[in-house]
A and B are shown apart, each in its own frame.
Chain A
Amino acid sequence: MNEALLRGLTPGVIGVLVRRGADFAAAEDAVQDALLEAVRAWAADPPRDPKGWLITVAWNRFLDATRANTARRRREDLVEPAPESTPAVDDTLQLYFLCAHPSLTPSSAVALTLRAVGGLTTRQIAQAYLVPEATMAQRISRAKRTVSTVRFDQPGDVATVLRVLYLVFNEGYSGDIDLAAEAIRLVRQLAAAIDHPEVAGLLALMLLHHARRPSRTTPDGSLVPLAAQDRELWDTHLIAEGVAILQAALARDQLGEFQAQAAIAALHADALAAEETDWVQIVEWYDELVRLTNSPVVRLNRAVAVGEADGARAGLAALVGLESVPRYLAVAAYLHERDGDAELAARLYAEAAAKASNLAERDYLVRQAARLNSG
């Protein structure tokens, strides 16, 4: 059994312990122990019923921890009577809601989701986010305390869960743990637990972007912009799957921002060459996104699309009023170059580089400025 399959059992096992009377924090700790034990024991002697094995070991760990905790004698009452009630709502879904509870900060919700839903160890999460293990352990236990009074069977908001999973995918750094792949696994698991067009929309969005991953950077880590990417490297299976999921979601006529973003990604995926991109349709989807989110970041991206569809002048006109949006300068530089003003573009690229929030983007922008300055 591979590690992802093992980790896929995590939410269900936590759910069983909670329904037997364990509180969430203790159940989560016990299941984490059982997962570590499974990695050690299963290599030599894989069980016939992995989930049953995990439940037994985790429940015993929970009982040991409860007995050891003499200061909390009250829990002793829980030791034997353990009739399992049938879950009213899917345990997995409830865990997603709990771990993305609105009382948590984004970084806490991300960490708790990766541990309790994803089954990752604290060390793996700490390495992925480049913080010490002790810090990540505290972040997680604090998050568990924050949600300790939330009832496990309380219905939650799918939108908050989707925002957390989007963060894991979009801002997850890459280390030993492939957070993008993990985010996709978690959205797939969520999609199996709840039928919701925006869950499908987010899954499609992730698949379509993941499909381009091999072409997004050069071997030395430099960014390759969409127009310059080698489309031969795009993963056609992921694209086909993403498009199919998106089409089924759109057919339900409950448009949301993730479906609209996925539609834009699908239009890019559809173009065999950059110059075949259907920018007019992309602008229409950006119009939908502006209507749905009213986000200045979306307006900025829309200006790029307008620049491609209707010319650089139109793009520059669409930029008016967006001067304070991050990446404004980079977009303005790009559009001014297309408009024929290389000198202004070079200056804007250099300014944009100085304000870039990440290294790969800064290096890319510096190169653009240098290219124009030496031209």
Chain B
Amino acid sequence: MAKYLLLKHYRGAPAPANDVPMDQWTQEEITAHVQYMSDFADRLEKTGEFVDGQALAPEGTFVRYDGEGRPPVTDGPFAETKDLIAGWMVIDVDSYERAVELAGELSAAPGAGGEPIHEWLELRPFLAHPPTITE
């Protein structure tokens, strides 16, 4: 029983095999892609492994503290930022192998030509709670 984050990148992951940007897909291809993602989440809920899934807008702002009594400083977005997260899914599974299997399935979402994108997803384990018995 462990939770994993499946991270989808706008930028920062290696290029996928079927590397055609979404704005060049047909309407049907976009519909099929969206449907695949939603079916995938539904299926995970039915297997009792779904925790959360969210998508993020590509444009973000950097914010930092600027001292007592002053408003926070904002900056960006920075075009040169190498790593840009597009969204995530959180799963709760019995093993690392199962997490890899599910990430592989999600990466098979169809893109241009109805073919799998083979998108690289980043799989990150959650830091959990410590076990009670350690010695």
The residue in chain B whose Cβ has the minimal distance to the Cβ of A213 is B132
1/0 contact trace for B24-42 toward A, CB 8 Å?
Answer: 0000000000000000000
Q: Are B128 and A129 in contact (CB under 8 A)?
A: no
Report chain B residues within 8 Å CB of A129.
1, 92
Report chain B residues within 8 Å CB of A265.
133, 135
Which residue of B48, B127, B132 contacts A359 across the interface (Cβ within 8 Å)?
B127
Known: A142-B46, A171-B131. A107 touches B1 (CB 8 A): yes
Which residue of A105, A261, A361 contacts B133 across the interface (Cβ within 8 Å)?
A261
Report chain A residues within 8 Å CB of B49.
135, 139
Q: Are B1 and A106 in contact (CB under 8 A)?
A: yes
* Size of the chain A interface, CB-CB below 8 angstroms: 42
Complex CA gap A361/B66 in Å reads 32
Rounded to whole Å, the gap between the CB of B29 and the closest CB of chain A is 30
Q: Are A131 and B51 in contact (CB under 8 A)?
A: yes
Complex CA gap A111/B1 in Å reads 11
Rounded to whole Å, the gap between the CB of A289 and the closest CB of chain B is 11
The answer to whether A130 has its CB under 8 Å from any CB of chain B is: yes
Report chain A residues within 8 Å CB of B105.
none
Report chain B residues within 8 Å CB of A32.
none
Complex CA gap A177/B49 in Å reads 21
The residue in chain A whose Cβ has the minimal distance to the Cβ of B46 is A138
Rounded to whole Å, the gap between the CB of A359 and the closest CB of chain B is 4
1/0 contact trace for A126-166 toward B, CB 8 Å?
Answer: 00011110111011101100000000000000000000000
Rounded to whole Å, the gap between the CB of B65 and the closest CB of chain A is 22
Rounded to whole Å, the gap between the CB of A327 and the closest CB of chain B is 8
Q: Are A107 and B127 in contact (CB under 8 A)?
A: no
Rounded to whole Å, the gap between the CB of B95 and the closest CB of chain A is 9
List the interface of chain A (C-beta within 8 A of B).
105-108, 110-111, 129-132, 134-136, 138-140, 142-143, 167, 169-171, 173-174, 180, 205, 209, 223, 226, 261, 264-265, 268, 301, 304, 356-362
A and B contact pairs by CB, cutoff 8 A, 14 listed = A106-B94, A107-B94, A130-B51, A131-B48, A131-B50, A142-B46, A171-B1, A171-B132, A180-B132, A264-B135, A268-B135, A304-B135, A357-B125, A358-B128
